[in-house]
Structure 1
Amino acid sequence: MRKLTLVFMAAGLSLLGGCDIDTVAAEKPTAAQRGADLIAEVGCGSCHTIPGIQGANGLVGPPLDQMARRIYIAGKLRNSPDNMVRWILNPQKVSPGNAMPDMGLTESQAEDITAYLATLE
């Protein structure tokens, strides 16, 4: 039995030898990458034109190009990561009656979307 255990351990170690820790770390998506994926998944591009998002050419909301350089969000909030998350999570609370719907996102998802929007300079 002990010999069999050693064989399995040796086989496992030989498999691990092929793993590249840097490659595994590089494959983990960044917050901005997750945000871009979420933007595409939830359909933000049906209302906004968003650089880097395929098919994001909507004309309902403002274009989101150069979002990182803008002073205000929705003409009311200073453009900061905390305020962007606040806006994404509950736009009707920030500006009642505006066209932006509540997308039902989690705070973590809103943070990832904010990270992507922060790359749009």
Structure 2
Amino acid sequence: MKHEMPSTETSVAHEGQHHPISLYLKVWGYLFVLSTLSYLVDYMHVQGIVRWTLIILFMLMKAGLILSIFMHLAWERLSLIYAILVPPLVLLVLVRIMTIEADYAYWTRAIFMGGGG
């Protein structure tokens, strides 16, 4: 009986994905830079909406790097990425709609009933 060697495609698929260490080192470097920038926002005493915008922007950039590289989403099928990312985005939209509705109810109560509390 003749034994055939498995093709390289199937053997690589079973071993998992291997990426060069330089990719991970670059991502760690980017994460370090983004964390430093986030720290500098507080160190430079940036205040108001600019502060929160920068902090959230740096946080989302770091989360995107971690998700795409360390959690291997960059190499997954698009349907899996949608299954992971779309539900939190939908929740954010629903939370925003609820805050708009809450503001409307508060101000309607304040205007027509003589108080908001």
Output the TM-score relative to the length of structure 2: 0.20
Q: Which one has a bigger Cα radius of gyration?
A: 2
Output the TM-score relative to the length of structure 1: 0.20
Compare the two structures and name the one with the higher helix fraction. 2
> Which structure is higher in RCO with an 8 Å CA cutoff and minimum separation 6?
1
